[in-house]
Chains A and B, each alone.
Chain A
């Protein structure tokens, strides 16, 4: 299964690579796309959650008697109704659907009311009497390190440290000691949130046979299916999860969420459908977005600017629960090696618990933060060494078909072409350092996974499956657990099946994201869907093609090899006038073979990394992006105007260029928000108002994001360097193009006004502060000033491939010896 059956190589494609109306486009513009909150069922009740007003407190008592007696209330649930914990990762089963004893952030839910309508449920929430005993709250990673007690959770490494990791791939200290220059920088990347326009909603229903169905705005119906069955102690075979089309996800709909479990339980108890739709404020509390990360980066370079080694330390502010945080922690370091040649690499990471909404995956999951640091540091290196920043990058792009220091296998790399394109189209050489005061350009690059190599729970089964139904009517239906979140995964599935079968994409019906009907696909995360469901679709479609071709060949009296399928017909390749319609060919195939149906499945190639922790980072392929941004900075106000963005993305092969371009430009948009204004930040109430740590801006108006008036022009270039592991060579496009944008903005600001802003977002007040420092002759920089003492463990030592490593951890004894020898030296 590692090598999917490759489609016949065609001279040209009929569907792949052609701009088309997406197969689900008409529903979206007529208001017919059904999102979770659009579902209305007979006898449906409505649920509201009571959420904690305290960031950290013991629940001393809950009295729900008055709420239960309120007219129109059908059920009140509390923590007592949910004895077992859940969590999306097997290693972080640390959440209760409703908190029984302790709340850990403002917004942590502890009771639920199910009533005849939302209004009644909301009224009843006010009638629930809760006595809290507030506990000391922890607002940041530094406070978490300094405050081991009280512990927010009774698991984790120690105190309020959730997770510690340390790896060393080759002797980095030696590499730095032997380098002509060592650059040491601190960076901070503030947390921010997904802000999909659709608020999370879910509807649970128990069918006539007593089985549960949950419709939800989720990106990962399979993971929800597993986790929900466990949380409710139901046989998974009696639970069906349907992912409605998401009104935007961006990673915020990847967890099993409290409300999904609560409405399911309520529907089971009441025997009636139960719906919940979160308010915007609740979505801010539930969060699971970008981790705030403090970074320390020490990098050695030769005199001509080539990297010799890097030591990266990261400190993640995880919020109140685990969520995907363990994976996020790994991702703050795992992909630092796939863009440029990096002979040696050391990576220490720490995730803390704090009394804020839990952080998790957001577009780029864990990698935008170190990417920002690395690309800004490269700009500083180029500046110091007098090398053009584009040239500095071009001379050390990682090699295609190579291994990295941390044992990631890279396939195709179109980065050189990406850099050359944005340099040429932006007029970089005439602009960099030459635009005059207040105006500047910056460049940066990035790379991203095309699907996480491993699922979130260990198993040997395929990561994506596709089933095809073909019948005598000529209809083709593709069933796949993949989940349409707006990115176009339904269109990709239809296009791939259509290409192989020689029919129109619009003639393929797709049924997706329904655990009761569709084969397992792990979901829309880690930019995995095109590659994984696409490869599974090719396999299923090639198998169907073989049957249909054989049916047609027999009828035409020729060998199957001579039959082609294209443009809705089956015909003799050398004489297209001899043939029949696709539907007729299916009739002959069905007569010959019986009922037609095929399956395809896909698992990524096994990673050469053998060390524990080496499972985060491997991917079937990596996408690459380069970006040039031109800005203008007003020295009087610090206001930053982004004039234009040039971005090139190595997509391998665009399936539908209209959608691919939309993914690139949407990434640029979201990235500019992170670069310039978006931040999920908190403040303490005054002591007389409890001193609690509350969300500063839980509303769309105050959480600033770009409007159409703020969005600059984007020049998008799709670079197509097909990857052999990918369907028709197609790599990801949904996340990678976000990565270079934030550092390109920071680098452009340096070019414009000569100040370094080493933290995101880059707001006018920070620019002004840096300009003031510059005017006083101080270091013209705003950013973190120190990195706290973190008890990182001794690193696991893994030798890079070129230093005799085999992908395993160097045995402990050797590791110790190596360390001792090094210490002695």
Chain B
């Protein structure tokens, strides 16, 4: 039986770009994103899958990056908040969160934006109830959620009109 390697080397596909990276195999996707790829937009609040701050999209599905080993993500499409805008143009979710108070301290915001993006891609016209369900795994201590719902609804409307 051979010992676990000190480091593994692989290519991760992050925000549409191939990123060669080497890291200790015990590292979570959250750690590799933040520490090895310098993508610090993804946050952490517990490292135990309780707060949702680290949510990213993997193959289009929201996933808690603190519970996923990075080595399991090879070949999968990873999306983080850094990839959300189209160049200088904000994604409608980003614009709505900035305009309507959806982001207060901004710490839970990247996780909620990614979760909301996955929702709107599947359901362009979600009810308030569906929005509440979709983000129920993302804790926000600042807003009381109401302005978050309104931001998501505004973005959904904008995206429907724009398409």
Contacts and interface: CB of A to CB of B under 8 A. Distances in A.
A760 B76 CA distance: 47
Interface string B89-109: 010011101111111111111
Contacts of B141: 194-197, 248, 250, 666, 669-670, 705
B11 interface: no
Interface in A670-709: 670, 699-701, 705, 707-709
Interface in B136-155: 136-149
Contact of B105 (A29, A245, A280): A245
A35 B100 CA distance: 22
A204 interface: no
B97 A280 contact: no
How many of chain A's residues touch chain B, expressed as a range?
35 or more
A700 B106 contact: no
Given A29-B94, A31-B41, A279-B47, A197 B107 contact: yes
A701 B140 contact: no
Interface string B110-154: 100100000000000000000111011111111111111100000
A247 B144 contact: no
A538 B113 CA distance: 36
B146 A714 contact: yes
B18 interface: no
Contacts of B35: 40
Contacts of A666: 104, 141-144
A553 to B, nearest CB: 37
Given A666-B144, A714-B146, A705 B107 contact: no
B113 A29 contact: yes
Interface string A709-723: 101011000000000
Nearest to B45: A197
A662 interface: yes
B117 to A, nearest CB: 12
A26 B103 CA distance: 10
Interface string A183-199: 00000000000111111
B101 A662 contact: yes
A408 B107 CA distance: 38
B94 to A, nearest CB: 4
Interface string B25-40: 0000000001100111
Interface string A32-62: 1111011010000000000000000000000
Interface string A473-502: 000000000000111100000000000000
Contacts of A658: 99-101, 147
A28 interface: yes
A30 B110 CA distance: 8
A247 B135 contact: no
A709 B113 CA distance: 18
B71 to A, nearest CB: 16
Q: B46, B104, B106 — which one has the most chain A CB atoms within 10 A of its CB? A: B106
B59 interface: no
Contact of B94 (A30, A197, A247): A30
Interface in A620-676: 658-659, 661-662, 665-670
Given A30-B82, A709-B132, A711-B144, A197 B139 contact: yes
Q: A28, A700, A708 — which one has the most chain B CB atoms within 10 A of its CB? A: A708
A247 B43 contact: yes
A27 interface: yes
Contacts of A279: 47
B53 interface: yes
A659 B109 CA distance: 15
Given A25-B103, A486-B104, A662-B101, A35 B43 contact: yes
Contact of B142 (A34, A119, A661, A662): A662
Contacts of A711: 132, 144-146
A247 B101 contact: no
Main secondary structure on chain A at its contact with chain B?
loop
Contacts of B44: 37, 199
A70 interface: no
A31 B113 CA distance: 10
A247 B113 CA distance: 16
A701 B66 CA distance: 15
A485 B105 contact: yes
B101 A248 contact: no
A463 interface: no
Contacts of A659: 101, 104
Q: A197, A666, A699, A713 — which one has the most chain B CB atoms within 10 A of its CB? A: A197
B146 A665 contact: yes
Q: B42, B95, B109 — which one has the most chain A CB atoms within 10 A of its CB? A: B109
B62 to A, nearest CB: 14
B104 A30 contact: no
Contact of A486 (B97, B105, B146): B105
B99 A708 contact: no
Contact of A29 (B38, B51, B106, B135): B106
Nearest to B135: A708
Contact of A28 (B48, B106, B132, B147): B106
Contacts of B40: 31, 34, 37-38, 40
A298 interface: no
A669 B145 contact: yes
Contacts of B98: 21-22, 25-26, 28-29
A246 interface: yes
A666 B38 CA distance: 31
Contacts of B46: 280, 699-700
Contacts of B8: none
Nearest to B99: A21
Contact of B143 (A665, A699, A701): A665
Contact of A713 (B135, B142, B146): B146
B21 interface: no
Nearest to A673: B141
Interface of A: 21-22, 24-35, 37-38, 40, 119, 194-199, 245-250, 279-280, 485-488, 658-659, 661-662, 665-670, 699-701, 705, 707-709, 711, 713-714
17 contacts: A28-B106, A29-B90, A29-B98, A29-B106, A30-B41, A30-B81, A37-B44, A40-B38, A197-B141, A247-B45, A662-B142, A669-B144, A700-B45, A708-B136, A708-B148, A708-B149, A711-B144
Given A29-B109, A705-B141, 19 more contacts: A28-B98, A29-B90, A29-B94, A33-B106, A195-B141, A197-B43, A198-B105, A199-B45, A248-B141, A280-B45, A485-B105, A486-B107, A659-B101, A662-B147, A670-B144, A700-B45, A700-B46, A708-B131, A708-B138
Give 9 nearest A-B pairs by CB, closest first.
A31-B41, A486-B105, A247-B107, A28-B106, A669-B144, A25-B98, A665-B144, A31-B81, A38-B40
